[in-house]
Amino acid sequence: MNICVLDGYTLNPGDLDWGSLSKLGNLKVYDRTMPSEIIERAIESEIVLTNKVIIDDNTMAQLPKLRYIGVLATGYNVVDIEAARKRGIIVTNIPAYSTNSVAQMVFAHILNIVQQVDTYAKEVQEGKWSNCPDFCYYNHTLMELAGKTIGIVGLGNTGMATARIASAFGMKVVALTSKTADRLPEGITPVSLDELLQESDIVSLHCPLTDSTRELINKTTLAKMKKSAILINTGRGPLVNEADLATALNNGDIQAFGADVLSKEPPTADNPLLSAKNCFITPHIAWATIDARRRLMEIAAENISQFIQGETIVNQINK
Vertex 218, ends 213 and 222: CA angle to 5°?
115
25-74: pLDDT as tens digits = 999 999 999 999 999 999 999 999 999 999 999 999 999 999 999 999 99
Other C-beta atoms closer than 10 Å to the C-beta of 56 total: 14
The continuous run of DSSP H or E covering 230 comes out as: strand 230-233
Out of 82, 126, 265, 311, the active site residue is: 265
Sheet holding 279-281, edge to edge: 188-190, 172-176, 149-153, 202-205, 230-233, 256-259, 279-281
284 is a catalytic site residue: yes
Instruction: Give the contacts of 309 (CB within 8 A, at least 6 positions apart).
Output: none
Question: How far from chain centre, in Å, is Cα 155?
Answer: 14
Homologous superfamily (CATH) of 99-281 is NAD(P)-binding Rossmann-like Domain (3.40.50.720)
Q: Provide the CB-side half-sphere exposure for 133 (13 A, CA).
A: 0
DSSP conformation letters of 127-149 = TTTTT-SSSS---S-----TT-E
What pLDDT is stored for residue 140 in this prediction?
86
Active site (annotated) includes residue 236: yes
CATH of domain 2-97+289-308: 3.40.50.720
Q: How many CA atoms lie within 13 A of 76 on its CB side?
A: 20
Q: Tell me the average pLDDT across 287-299.
A: 98
Residue 319 pLDDT grade (very low, low, confident, very high; cuts 50, 70, 90): confident
CA dist 270 and 234 (Å) reads 21
42, 227, 254 from 217: Cα distances, Å: 40, 15, 12
d(CA 76, CA 318): 11
Work out the mean pLDDT of the chain and round it to a whole number: 97
Among residues 109, 199, 206, 236, which one is catalytic? 236
Q: Which helix (H) or strand (E) holds 258?
A: strand 256-259
CB 21 within 8 A of CB 27: yes
What average pLDDT score do residues 204-227 get?
Answer: 97
Quick: pLDDT tens for 243-278. 999 999 999 999 999 999 999 999 999 999 999 999
SS3 state of residue 3: strand
206 is catalytic: no
- Angle (CA) 79 85 86, round 5°: 115
Residue range 137-155, pLDDT digits in tens: 999 889 999 999 999 999 9
> Residue 142: what are its φ and ψ, rounded to 5°?
-100, 155
pLDDT tens digits along 169-215:
999 999 999 988 889 999 999 999 999 999 999 999 999 999 999 99
Q: How far apart are CA 53 and CA 221, in angstroms?
A: 34
Chain Cα centroid distance, residue 1: 32
Question: Catalytic one among 67, 214, 284, 294?
Answer: 284
What's the whole-model pTM score?
0.94
Residues of the chain with CATH 3.40.50.720: 2-97+289-308, 99-281
